[in-house]
Amino acid sequence: MATGLTEFLDNFVKSHDNRQLLAFPLAILAVSLAILLVSFVSSGSPVNLGMEFQGGTQISVETADSPAMLEETYSSYPITDARQTGSRIIMQFGVMDNEQQRELEKDVTGRYSNVEIRQVGPIYGHDLQVQAIQAMIISFIGMAIVVFLLFRTLIPSFAVILSAFSDIMIAAAFMKVAGIELSLGTLAALLMLIGYSVDSDILLTNRVIKRRGTIEEKISRAMHTGITMTTTTLAALVVMYIVSTFSYLVIPSFTQITLLSQISIVLIAGLIADMMNTWLLNTGILRWYVLKPEFRGRYNR
């Protein structure tokens, strides 16, 4: 699979000019930004905020009852949602006062087994939101500084940073479209993406700028290594997603691990975007840059 994909991408890169290479990823980036912008304007936030960032209570229990039955049972509480994931039902509640909260917790723990409760107050949720935004921005800037220090040239560094930025935006837009909420887990995934996505970009830029050889050869060799890297990571993530999400269908005693399931699906989306961004967007910009006439083929021999 990796080899086939590498050959396809390699041929695609060789047979298209830089402008053509950029068109597709930039279009996807534009669509993603549009999705996030529309969401931001209509709901005040680019992605759907999960319970942790909004405040509320999430209770998951093991039960044979249907979600509708649970919604009925707890209709006297501010229940907003009840959905089934395997043998478990996850219920979402709005903000409650202490008394009501405690009553609900007592009731649930008394009635069901294998209970998981997570409650976040609206104040803390808001604090987390602010921290999440800060963390994203600081991480991104930190990454950009490291990249710039590594290459010390404006355009190649910019290409890497743009490609990482695009990965995150596409992954975030994917979350919005697929209805995945921003939780601490998915936030972790987006931050992980900053680290993962630059791996192959750094490899590409390093090989093209700091090695001898024809530009075509350097790109296709970098691609060979880079695609192997991304596909191994993807393979691990796909397995992780499947096991953490669906394993209970095969082995009933297993349970869904929502955190791992969310992290893996967001990373999968981000890494697929990363393949496109590294080998079309970043490659396109880099190839245009190193073949600029003023370098007189310095990077192409």
Instruction: Pick out residues in 56-95 that bind other proteins (CB under 8 A).
Output: 62
In the bound state with other proteins, the residue whose beta carbon lies nearer, of 34 and 235, is 235
Q: How far is the CB of 227 from other proteins (least distance, A)?
A: 9
Candidates 3, 11, 66, 80; binder of other proteins (CB under 8 A) is 3
Q: How far is the CB of 204 from other proteins (least distance, A)?
A: 10
Q: How many residues does the structure list for the chain?
A: 301
CA proximity to 54, closest of 35, 28, 80, 85: 80
End-to-end CA distance of the chain: give it in Å, rounded: 31
Q: How far is the CB of 102 from other proteins (least distance, A)?
A: 6
In the bound state with other proteins, the residue whose beta carbon lies nearer, of 18 and 233, is 233
Binding piece for other proteins, criterion CB under 8 A, among 10-18, 40-48, 72-80, 250-258: 250-258
Running DSSP on this structure, what letter comes out for residue 277? I
Q: How far is the CB of 213 from other proteins (least distance, A)?
A: 10
Q: How far is the CB of 63 from other proteins (least distance, A)?
A: 13
Candidates 39, 63, 244, 282; binder of other proteins (CB under 8 A) is 244
Alpha helices, DSSP H only, in the chain?
2-15, 18-43, 51-54, 67-73, 98-111, 122-151, 154-178, 184-210, 215-250, 258-276, 283-290
Cα-Cα-Cα-Cα dihedral sign, residues 72, 73, 79, 80: negative
For position 263 contacting other proteins by CB under 8 A, the verdict is yes
Alpha carbon 69 to chain centroid, angstroms: 34
CA proximity to 180, closest of 96, 221, 241: 241
| Residue 109 identity (one-letter amino acid) | T
For position 272 contacting other proteins by CB under 8 A, the verdict is no
Contacts of 12 (CB under 8 A, 6+ apart): 280
CA separation for the pair 142, 161 (Å, rounded): 11
For position 5 contacting other proteins by CB under 8 A, the verdict is no
Site for other proteins in 183-242 (CB under 8 A): 184-185, 187-188, 191-192, 194-196, 198-200, 202-203, 206, 210-211, 221, 224-225, 228-229, 231-233, 235-240
Site for other proteins in 101-160 (CB under 8 A): 102, 105-106, 109, 113-121, 123-124, 127-128, 131, 134-135, 138-140, 142-143, 145-147, 150
State the pairing for strand pair 56-62/88-93. antiparallel
In the bound state with other proteins, the residue whose beta carbon lies nearer, of 24 and 74, is 74
Please count the residues of this chain forming the interface with other proteins, following the rule CB under 8 A: 75
